[in-house]
Structure 1
Amino acid sequence: MIRLRGKFSLLAALLLCACTSLPTRARHDLIGVTRSDLIACAGVPDNRELLPDGEVLEWRQDQQVQGPLTIKGPLSLEMDLGGHGTCHMVARLRSGVVSQVEYTGPSATLGGPYAACRPLVLACERFVL
């Protein structure tokens, strides 16, 4: 029983790390990706701002991302231990190539500070690899 609990804890920790590490990796992996490839994997951006030295593209994940643990009880009692979060991915481009990726928005899930950003970068991480 103790071994099974230890394996479950390790698996849970690895899954939580995967949620957080993917957006963190994408901050570095997407550097150098062309504008057209970025739009192909992330979709059409929600906002665009032209700058003298390039442009900034923003994708918005405004739908609340649920935390991984919700407990429901009798009499409509519900407790969410994971929290909710949203994410905005902001990519800065110079000469049509990604030079910087940042995340904004309230993201407070058990998966970590960037877990709500995972859906925004998942297809791009698969594309880059």
Structure 2
Amino acid sequence: MPRPLPALLLLVAACAARDASIANDAQLRLIGLRADDLRLCSGVPDRRETSDGGEFWTYVRTPPSSGLSLPVPVAGGAVSLSSSSNCYVTFQVVQGHVTRIGYSAASEFGLARDSACAPVVQGCLRMLDQGMIQRD
């Protein structure tokens, strides 16, 4: 009899690891991106702060929770799998260009901690790859 639960857990973990990789990749590849291009690919930031170090644009993402409940015949109950996380992505913008990107995320996938941040930067990476935006 096939065991769908381990396969499902593996699939969820693989997706989280992929998204964490996207978020980590963005921390290098989006440095030098123009502020206008950042607004184009990630939208208008939820918060903006200014200090001596430049501007700090923060995007807050709280994706909807998702869950799956599978019956476990042996125990006579159900096993519940859920994914819930949030992310704060902060871009430091100096002289109109991204100089640093920081993540503050909470996730149930310990090793893929920044996976919830991928949606904020994913569009920027795609547009960069397609040559629609560029770094200076």
TM-score normalised according to structure 2 size = 0.72
Deviation, structure 1 residue 77: 4.4
Contact conserved, 1:48 with 1:56, CA < 8 A, in 2? yes
Partner of 2:41 in structure 1?
A: 41
Residue 107, structure 1, aligned to residue 107, structure 2: yes
State the 1:115 CA deviation: 1.1
In structure 1, how many angstroms separate the alpha carbons of the residues matched to 2:103 and 2:65? 15
Where does the alignment leave 5 or more consecutive residues of structure 2 unmatched?
1-6, 130-136
After superposition, the CA RMSD in angstroms is: 3.0
Aligned-residue identity in percent: 25
Q: Residues 43-122 of structure 1: matches in 2 within 5 Å?
A: 43-64=43-64, 66=66, 70-73=68-71, 77=78, 79-80=80-81, 83-109=83-109, 112-122=112-122
Distance across 1 between alignment mates of 2:35 and 2:17: 29
Preserved CA contact (<8 Å) 1:84 1:109: no
TM-score (norm 1): 0.76
Unaligned runs of 5+ in 1: 1-7
8 Å CA contact 1:16, 1:110 repeated in 2: no
Tell me the residue number matched to 1:27.
27
What is the number of residues matched between the two proteins? 118
Does the Cα contact within 8 Å between 1:66 and 1:109 map onto a contact in 2?
Answer: no
Bigger drift between 106-115 and 70-79 goes to: 70-79
Looking at structure 2, the residues matched to 122 and 115 of structure 1 have their Cα atoms a distance apart, in angstroms, of 11
Distance 2:105 2:15 in 1: 22
Rounded Cα–Cα distance in structure 2 between residues aligned with 1:91 and 1:24: 13
